Amino acid sequence: MPRTIPLLVTLFALPASALSSAALPTDELEDRTRSQRPAESTPEVDRAVKLIAELGTALAKGNTDVFHINGDARLILAPGADWVLETRARALYETSKGEETANNWLVSERADRFLSQRLSLFAAAAIERNVFAGLDRRLSGQLGAAFLAWETRDAAADDLITNRLRLEAGFYGAREDLTLPPRSPADAVLEESLRRIYAARAAASYVHAISKNSSGGFDVEVIQDFVDTANVVVNSSVYVAAALAEGFALKITAAHHFDNVPPPADPPLAKSDWLLTAGLVVSL
């Protein structure tokens, strides 16, 4: 994540079957064919194939000169009664006064095998890069279980799912190839070029639906390294999406990344990264 806080003026979802889970977590779930999958098992899948793509941008010229673009795309497949596959790609790029200030991307794949309406086992793999955080490349994998801990519905509003809390726990491993950030002095020396992580991972996600297309929620992920116990990573985000009209919502998201042992750099890297985005979500 970048060490800036850009306020995006546009967040546009490319043609997709529905809003992302952040903007539409609720009653579309009941349209799913129950013979294929229980509604409670896959809260983000309401059909066999689903594509979600978002693009955010900001541009300022004059007394300031800033360009920012970020994208996030997910392809979700439900190939069978008990399986869900998710391919995800996201990227962020930013310049300020002609100087690059952010450049990172991630591609991941996840497979969930549902054992019941509430419990699933999953495996995931990812590759990512964030040079401004001293990360040339990270290869990571996960194994774990997900559990639907709490769900409430409003029967008077077409059985609207008003609250949903999902918990995850498992194991996380990664190989990190490190690099000096672009702003390092010319004589800076990389003290450590490779880091391996063997860790436990826990996560929680919560969604509260205010109405059919208005919602709020949060996501929290904690990774605790077994080898270096001081190495703790916490990723968290909170959002609110308010419906403006059918298929349109105003969404504000605040994300925070905390790394207690950031990669070595000169000058030292901050432990916290913040990202604030605000804009329009469109569903086609």
Tens of pLDDT, residues 131-190: 999 999 999 999 999 999 998 888 777 767 789 999 999 999 999 999 988 878 888 888
Q: Number of structural domains, the chain?
A: 1
Q: Which of 164, 133, 128 is nearest to 149 (CA)?
A: 164
Cα separation, 238 vs 253, whole angstroms: 6
pLDDT of residue 35: 32
Q: Is residue 174 part of a domain?
A: yes
Phi and psi based region of residue 117 (left: phi greater than 0; alpha: psi -120 to 50; beta: remaining): alpha
Contact assessment for residue 172 and residue 153, using Cβ atoms and an 8 Å cutoff:
no
Q: Is residue 257 part of a domain?
A: yes
Q: Is residue 5 part of a domain?
A: no
Q: Is residue 190 part of a domain?
A: yes
pLDDT of residue 159: 67
pLDDT of residue 46: 64
pLDDT of residue 179: 92
Q: Which of 176, 65, 167, 61 is nearest to 120 (CA)?
A: 167
- Cα 142 to Cα 64, 157, 197: the distances in Å are 42, 38, 12
47 has pLDDT over 90: no
Domain of 242, CATH number, reads 2.40.160
Structural domain span for residue 35: 10-282
| Digit-coded pLDDT (tens) for 69-118 | 888 888 889 887 789 999 999 999 999 988 899 999 999 999 999 998 88
| Digit-coded pLDDT (tens) for 192-207 | 889 999 999 999 999 9
280 has pLDDT over 80: no
Cα separation, 13 vs 54, whole angstroms: 4
